[in-house]
Amino acid sequence: MSGTTLTEAARHIRQSLGDWPQNLAPWHIHVTPPAAPNSGDLIVVAESALPLPQLARWVAHGAAVAVVERKTAASRITLHLGGARYALEGELPDDWLAALAAFLDCGFAPHDALTLAFAWRAGDEEKPSDAWPVDLARFPHIPGHFGAAGLPAIPAQPFASCPARLGLYPVLPTADWVERALDCGVKTVQLRSKQPASPALQHEIERCVQAGRRHDARVFINDHWREAIAAGAYGVHLGQEDIGKADLSAIACAGMRLGLSTHGYYEMLLAWRLRPSYIALGAVFPTTTKAMPTAPQGLARLARYVRLFDGVVPLVAIGGIDSATLPAVLATGAGSAAVVRAVTQADDPAQTIAALQREFQKFQK
């Protein structure tokens, strides 16, 4: 495909994808390596034509490199980006490069745009209402042996399930806050304590678990999976950076639920391979409660994430959600929304929780 033809095909696909915020940091795709690649360049090259020293030089200068390996049954593309490596395998459409350019123009990071390009099929653009890839069967899988470096082992025993719609989901810093929220009628809550592992933290977790049992509520513990198992918690929530550190088999064997944070399509597919009890999608809006590895996702992306995984796995929207934004979040079809500052910084937390609960009730009718 010539450069002109690729540009025209990408423009045609892009027009079918709807309105998206302007991509302020565009990527430039190169099927012929530029003389001096740098950040913003995405070089596409066949595996057989790439000496490893050259790949290392390109990446060192800030370029992204997509190494394509065509196979009989499926194609594999390994993306090297900023020191990270993303591998995807599946049926690759003929116009995947044009689709990749279109999804990059929508503002998606290269690994997420590449994931979408695998799922794209020619003809979708003729059906504007269905143009966005939302058929999970079309999406690629992440190759490699889980349990190897960088890929957590898939537990032999599945994680316990949780309700499809977890409702209002406050994420709170202390046992005092957890008890207050449960006293207000909340049925799903998470303790996200910044304490290091210690007897004091174990006591905090045990208080939360006991409060959950008194109120017949679901109490998740962030990160501290050993202490959660010891206390008999309902479940554990892990971030992407913690998946490889935790003993997932121990969590599953304890009969606990597992929730996983994700920040885009690639991480969603990686999380889904582990069959967690729920997947958290975010950050939807800007948040100051923790450093985020990605830019805010926004409502347009959230709606498409929900369309892809709705009915497959429970979903939790998270990040910067408050009373003002909750109705729009629920309108995407998300069955749960995690809130932090909306509760902990409220003038009247009990009144705020009641108002947030009423919003959920509107979308249950």
Element (H, E) at 90: strand 84-90
Q: State CA 70 to chain mean position distance.
A: 28
Report the alpha-carbon distance of residue 23 to residue 256 in Å, rounded.
Answer: 41
pLDDT confidence tier of residue 23, bands split at 50, 70 and 90? confident
On whether the CB atoms of residues 189 and 172 are closer than 8 A, the answer is yes
**Whether domain 167-363 has CATH 3.20.20.70:** yes
Using the predicted structure, report yes or no on whether residue 151 has a pLDDT greater than 80: no
> Most distant CA pair in the chain: distance in Å?
67
| φ, ψ (nearest 5 deg) of residue 179 | -65, -40
Q: pLDDT tens for residues 280-308?
A: 999 999 987 666 667 789 999 999 999 99
- Give the residue-averaged pLDDT of 164-183: 98
- How many Cα atoms within 13 Å fall on the side-chain side of residue 309? 29
**39, 63 in Cβ contact below 8 A?**
yes
Q: Residue 24: is its pLDDT beyond 80?
A: no
* pLDDT computed for residue 365 by the predictor: 58
Angstrom distance (rounded) from CA 14 to CA 16: 5
**Minimum mean pLDDT range among 64-78, 226-240, 301-315:** 64-78
pLDDT cut 90: percent of the chain above it: 78
Q: How confident is the model at residue 172 (pLDDT cuts 50, 70, 90)?
A: very high
85 phi and psi angles, rounded to 5 deg: -130, 125
Give the pLDDT score at 185.
98
Asked if the model's pLDDT at residue 242 lies above 70, the reply is yes
Q: Report the C-alpha gap between 283 and 277 in whole angstroms.
A: 19
Ramachandran angles phi, psi of 60, nearest 5°: -60, -25
- Alpha carbons within 13 angstroms on the beta-carbon side of residue 266 total 21
- Are the CB atoms for 269 and 302 separated by under 8 Å? no
pLDDT at site 99: 96
Residue 150 pLDDT: 61
Query: Model confidence over 103-149: pLDDT tens digits?
Result: 999 999 999 999 999 999 988 777 766 689 999 999 999 886 554 45
- Residue 320 banded pLDDT, cuts 50, 70, 90: very high
Most confidently modeled of 83-97, 116-130, 175-189, 294-308? 175-189
Query: Three-state SS for 210?
Result: helix
pLDDT exceeds cutoff 90 at 54 = no
**How much is the CA Rg of the chain, to the nearest whole Å?**
22
Please give the full DSSP string across 298-310, using - where no structure is assigned: HHHHHHHHHHHHT
The secondary structure element, H or E, covering residue 201 is helix 199-214
Dihedral pair phi/psi, residue 87, rounded to 5°: -115, 135
Question: How far is 310 from 328, CA to CA, in rounded Å?
Answer: 17
Q: CA 253, CA 320: separation in Å to the nearest integer?
A: 33
| Continuous segment of H or E residues that includes residue 262 | strand 257-262
Listed residue (132, 127, 95) closest to 116, CA to CA: 132
**Sheet strands side by side (includes 28-30):** 28-30, 41-46, 64-69, 75-81, 84-90
pLDDT score, position 290: 67
pLDDT score at 291: 66
- Say if CB 20 and CB 106 are below 8 A apart: yes
Q: What is the rounded average pLDDT for all residues in the chain?
A: 92
Please state the separation of Cα 145 from the chain's center in Å. 21
Say how far apart CA 241 and CA 261 lie, in whole Å.
9
What is the spatial distance between Cα 316 and Cα 171, in angstroms, rounded to a whole number? Answer: 12
Q: What is the pLDDT of residue 122?
A: 81
276 against 293, higher pLDDT: 276
Element (H, E) at 5: helix 3-15
Domain boundaries, the chain: 3-138, 167-363
Average pLDDT over residues 3-24: 84
Q: How confident is the model at residue 330 (pLDDT cuts 50, 70, 90)?
A: very high
